[in-house]
Structure formats: structure tokens, C-alpha cells
Amino acid sequence: MNPFGGSNLEEKYERLKDYLSGLKSAAIAFSGGVDSTFLLFAAKEALGNRAIAITANSDLFPEREHKEALDFAKKYHMKQIVFDVDEFEIEGFANNPENRCYLCKKTIFSQIKKLAKENGALYVAEGSNMDDNGDYRPGMKAIAELEIKSPLRQVGLYKEEIRELSKKLGLPTWEKPSFACLASRFVYGEKITREKLQIVGKAEQFLLDLGFRQVRVRLHHNIARIETDSFELDRFLNKEMRELVNNRLKELGFQYISLDLQGYRTGSMNEVIIE
């Protein structure tokens, strides 16, 4: 039975599988997020056992994200290679310059390329999509320099299309909130430490446990700037909710707690960059 029912999305998905088939073998940089999960599934359909997943274990991603990546690969019987990475060993990373993402991606994907070669994969592919073209993303420069493939962009897939296809394919990530590494919560120039990463991670997990679906806790020195979906902003009108969140985040070490009235949006830390 055709899960798509005939559509432009079906055509894009078929083009994606054709593109992946043409690679002969590939290692997918797999974080467990919406895009990389969809890409890995498509690669498995197109390449069978010639597709492998490579996952970085890092302090920049909460344990829940890592566990979901492991569980998915196990459920779908996919070969997965996991390696540890310590971004604090990357020169300049902790100082959080505007090209921080470039420094990280260059290091991590260099290691992924090495592991891919050792395991017989001809290419490495990653899960950026067409929506990633419109923001300041220095990490994409590293992707290009290392000649990493970007199949979802190659066939013109957007985030919402990936979600729709994921739903039709029965993937558990189709409605999973978007997530980016915890370093993206720091205003540029704010020194990144393991302690601060843990604080931000705990603050976001607290909000998730309260039922907020899409959240970011951005760190501006001693200020927490909370972003959440616009339809969830009204929950903060409740006095008990405000007090609960305020007290917990202050316990974690923030001195001031603020709510961003624009709501959640990707790349909000890049809004201050003038190119």
C-alpha cells in the first residue's frame, strides 16, 4: 500500500531514495532529531545494510536525545557507531565566538568522516533541509569544506514536508520538537562552561516536564530568556506558573527570568549579528 497516496511529496521521497542509492554506501550523521531520523530511515530503505548511523555523544545534547537516537537505531535494526566528543578540547569553542558552530562541525564531521571510511562507507550525509538556508549557519561552511552530502537539501525538502513524510512513514519523530545543541543557548561572547550547559539543560527539562512542548532557555549572562511556542505563552499569565518557573530557575542559578514575547524561533541569537 502506498502511504503517500500519490503526491509531490512522494516524488521528492523517491528522488531522495534515488539520490541515496547513487551514493552506493553512506554514513548518516545521526542525532535522533526529526531530520536525521528521516534521512537515516530513507537511507536504510535505499541502501539496506550499506547505510550506517554515526552518533556523537556530547555534553551539548541532553541524555534524553542520546537515548532516543540509540533506541531508534536499535528498533529499526540499523548499524550504529557511537563516539564521544569533548567540544571543550576544540580551540576557541569555550569563548563562544560567532563562528563557534563552524569550529564544532569541522571537528565532529572530520571524526565522522574518519569513522565512515574505517567502516567502508563511501560518503557521509547530514540532515540539513531547505529551511536551514535562510539563517546564519557557519556550520554549513564546515559541511561544504569537508564535502559532506546534504540529501534533504539536494532534493528540495523543507521541514514541514519532512514532518509530513515522517508521519506517513510512521516515524516516531514526526511531531518531535526541534532541537539544537545547548551551546546555541548562549549569547555570543558568553563563555561556555560545563556547569552552565548543565544549568540550561536542567532549566529546559523542567519546562518540558511542565508540559511545554517547544522551549528554549537562552542565557544572557545572569538572565534566562525563555522562548516557547506562541500558543503556549498564555500559560505564563497564570501567577502560579510564573512563580513556579521563576523559583526553579533561580534555584538553578539565574538571577533574572524573562519571557520573550516573540515566542520560540530558530536562530534568535543570530538576530544581533550584522553581516
Q: Which residues are catalytic?
A: 181
- Return the SS3 of 257: strand
Looking up cell 557511537 gives 82
Please give the DSSP secondary-structure letter assigned to residue 71: H
Helices in the chain by DSSP H: which ranges? 8-22, 34-47, 63-75, 100-118, 139-145, 151-154, 159-168, 194-209, 239-252
The phi and psi torsions of 192 (rounded to 5 degrees) equal -95, 130
Query: What residues contact 140, with CB distance under 8 A and at least 6 apart?
Result: 128, 132
The phi and psi torsions of 246 (rounded to 5 degrees) equal -60, -45
